[in-house]
């Protein structure tokens, strides 16, 4: 993308760094769901997310300290869900498109388009009403542009094998998803964990908490600049409020939420709000 004004060489280098950060932030996980739906049933969850930040974490160490940085805004359309295909198997997906802008003192860069897409299979192990676990294998396809500034993609294919487990009791439920994301170019491996807890606070409202942690556990020597988006270190807690209607709309569950980028390394430190609806069919 071309800048709105002429940039100095130093500003160009900073903008390039920001594009790497942009592709990092595009790679969050789908919600854990170890319960496999019956064949022909599933969940369809469209949402709109807005992220903003004007500070960055340290480039050298993982932590909560931040410093002033370019202003980054991201509007994202996201569609996640699963669909049962029988034999304790479900297809799961996480599809994304976004508009990203990064504003420096003398210029603003923007990019709009598809981001990386995730699709995979989830296989149920133990499946009861109160307990479930599963194993899944997802593929991350670099369908977004890795050359735009800011970038919309890491530009690399990855595989993500995970273990998921969940407990459901009267009035509350909890899930955990953990596993690596392995980039097939051999440059990096991430270890990712996503934990959720939902509590029914009224007959119609569920308050949910979530913690997402990802650390780069392997890197192959000096990672080329164009592949630095594969280096991902972040701790992000969040909250979500979900409404459970009755009657003909009982399978529609609208929700709103907030995520805080609390600790990280080499990326923007901001916060995110989102709104969407979960449709069970």
Residue 4 lies in a domain: no
What domain count does the chain have? 1
C-alpha distances in Å from residue 180, one per residue of 20, 90, 162, 236: 21, 20, 7, 17
CA-based radius of gyration for the chain: 19
Got the DSSP string for 90-156?
EEEEEEEEEEEEEE-SS-EEEEEEE--EEEEEEEEEEE-SSEEEEEEEEEEE--S-SSSSS-S--SS
Residues in a beta bridge with 111: 100
pLDDT in tens, 230-260: 889 999 999 999 999 999 999 999 999 999 9
Question: Can you give the pLDDT at residue 20?
Answer: 39
* Tens place of pLDDT per residue across the chain (281 aa): 434 444 444 444 444 343 333 334 445 566 789 999 999 999 999 999 999 999 999 999 999 999 999 999 999 999 999 999 999 999 999 999 999 999 998 999 999 999 999 999 999 999 999 999 999 999 999 999 888 889 998 889 999 999 999 999 999 999 999 999 999 988 899 999 999 999 999 999 999 999 999 999 998 867 665 556 788 999 999 999 999 999 999 999 999 999 999 999 999 999 999 999 999 99
Residue 92 lies in a domain: yes
Contact indicator for 13, 103 with CB cutoff of 8 Å: no
Residue 224 lies in a domain: yes
Residue 22 lies in a domain: yes
Contact indicator for 41, 281 with CB cutoff of 8 Å: yes
Element spanning 67, H or E: strand 66-86
Contact indicator for 236, 258 with CB cutoff of 8 Å: no
Q: What are phi and psi of 14, to 5 degrees?
A: -65, -40
Residue 3 lies in a domain: no
Residue 244 lies in a domain: yes
Q: What region does 20 belong to: left with phi over 0, alpha with psi -120 to 50, or beta?
A: alpha
Look at the block and give the residue holding tokens 């396809």: 141
Residue 2 lies in a domain: no
Residue 119 lies in a domain: yes
Residues in a beta bridge with 180: 191
Question: Can you give the pLDDT at residue 186?
Answer: 82
The enclosing domain of 191 has a CATH number of 2.40.160.40
Question: Can you give the pLDDT at residue 198?
Answer: 98
Range(s) of the domain holding residue 111: 9-280
Question: Can you give the pLDDT at residue 228?
Answer: 66
CA distance 37 to 163: 17
């Amino acid at each position: 993308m071309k800048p709105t004004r002429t940039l100095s060489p130093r500003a160009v280098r900073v903008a390039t760094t920001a594009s790497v950060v942009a592709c990092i932030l595009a790679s969050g996980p789908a919600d854990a769901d170890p319960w496999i739906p019956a064949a022909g049933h599933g969940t369809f969850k469209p949402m709109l997310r807005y992220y903003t930040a004007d500070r960055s974490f340290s480039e050298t160490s993982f932590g909560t300290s931040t410093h002033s940085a370019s202003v980054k805004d991201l509007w994202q359309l996201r569609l996640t869900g699963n669909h049962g295909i029988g034999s304790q198997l479900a297809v799961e997906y996480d599809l994304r498109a976004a508009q990203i802008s990064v504003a420096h003192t003398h210029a603003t860069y923007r990019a709009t388009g598809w981001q990386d897409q995730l699709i995979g299979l989830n296989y149920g192990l133990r499946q009861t009403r109160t307990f479930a676990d599963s194993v899944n294998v997802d593929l991350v396809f670099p369908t977004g542009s890795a050359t735009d500034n800011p970038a919309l993609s890491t530009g690399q294919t990855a595989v993500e094998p995970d273990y998921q487990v969940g407990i459901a009791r009267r009035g509350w439920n909890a899930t955990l998803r953990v596993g690596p994301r392995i980039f097939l170019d051999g440059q990096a491996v991430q270890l990712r964990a996503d934990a959720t807890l939902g509590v029914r606070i009224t007959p119609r409202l569920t308050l949910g908490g979530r913690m997402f942690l990802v650390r780069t556990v392997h890197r192959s020597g000096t990672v080329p600049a164009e592949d630095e988006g594969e280096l991902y270190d972040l701790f992000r807690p969040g909250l979500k409020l979900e409404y459970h209607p009755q009657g003909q709309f009982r399978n529609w569950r609208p929700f709103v939420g907030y995520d805080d980028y609390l600790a990280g390394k080499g990326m923007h430190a901001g916060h995110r709000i989102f709104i969407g609806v979960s449709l069970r069919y």
